[in-house]
Amino acid sequence: MRTLTVAAIQAQLTDDVETNILHLSDLVRQAHQRGAQLIVLPELFEGHYFCKEEREIHFQRAHPVKKHPTIAHFEALARELEVVIPVSFFEKAGTVYYNSVAMIDAGGVNLGVYRKSHIPDGPGYEEKFYFRPGNTGFRVWRTRYGRIGVGICWDQWFPEAARVMTLMGAEVLVYPTAIGSEPHDPTLDTKDPWQRVMVGHAVANVIPVVAANRVGNEGGQVFYGSSFIANPRGDLVAEADRSQEAVLVHKFDLGEIERLRAAYGFFRDRRPGLYKALLTADGVI
């Protein structure tokens, strides 16, 4: 039996980097004490979600991967606790900027960076002002405890991303997230569709999905939490509420999931030659 115990951290964040790092480190320790080997933190957890408005001062939040103080901190923590931690951060790469995740393995080694592929642009989520679309392609890392695929927030709405990472050998998909209220329409609540689309990824790819969101009111933008862990059947085996911090933990038998994926036949019966329209923007081949 080869198992993997995953955790999703749901946190309320201040706009002070050091305060958030210390707080999340405590939550990581709580997850570790409950047996977690892979611990997923929210998107851009170093501060408030700054992308709700276009202000050039926020570019000061970005740092290069090398010698990034937050990455270095979680490398040390991962080494100490022997856990895997995907670290979301605002990356400065020369003259351009990315919304990125560094995959920190259980030995404290940074296995590499994934840069967010899909960049949203709308009221309250004006990320195109800050981030260039990622150039890494989708990535899957062979960590000490299993093969991990990572998407970042808006990526989670795209079934193509989940399929590609599973085809690349991912055994679990994780999504650091920052999502909540829609400033232009107070009646719009995306919580249920947000969960359902990722549950669909779990079912269609027969793979566990872990989503970690933030909670709290950040200058009028209210993040709705609802972080969860879904099994390959689409059952929510752990779920947080809309307002409280949470440490969600669940153990999966990776060998059993591999056998289940083979038995369902979704990958056996795929017809890639029929999907050429997916390589176009408008379906015209």
Mark 201-216 as b/e (b = at least 16 C-beta within 10 Å). bbbbbbbbbbbbbbbb
Residues 6+ apart with CB under 8 A from 239: 226, 227, 228, 229, 248
Pairing of strands 246-253, 3-12: antiparallel
Q: Please identify which of the residues 46, 153, 218, 245 carries the catalytic annotation.
A: 153
Q: Please identify which of the residues 46, 91, 116, 218 carries the catalytic annotation.
A: 116
In angstroms, rounded to a whole number, what is the distance separating the alpha carbons of residues 110 and 61?
21
Residue 75 appears among annotated catalytic residues:
no
AA letter at 37: Q
Spell out where 108-187 has E strands: 110-115, 121-122, 125-126, 140-142, 147-150, 172-176
In angstroms, rounded to a whole number, what is the distance separating the alpha carbons of residues 129 and 150?
23
Pairing of strands 228-230, 236-239: antiparallel
Which helix (H) or strand (E) segment holds residue 215: the answer is: strand 214-218
Q: Please identify which of the residues 43, 75, 91, 171 carries the catalytic annotation.
A: 43
Residue 66 appears among annotated catalytic residues:
no
Residue 111 near residue 105, CB atoms below 8 Å: yes
In angstroms, rounded to a whole number, what is the distance separating the alpha carbons of residues 42 and 213?
5
In angstroms, rounded to a whole number, what is the distance separating the alpha carbons of residues 143 and 157?
25
AA letter at 217: N
Match 């990776």 to its residue by tokens: 254
Q: Would you state the structure tokens that stand for residue 105, as one six-digit string?
A: 């393995």
Residue 54 appears among annotated catalytic residues:
no
AA letter at 136: T
Catalytic residues: 43, 116, 153
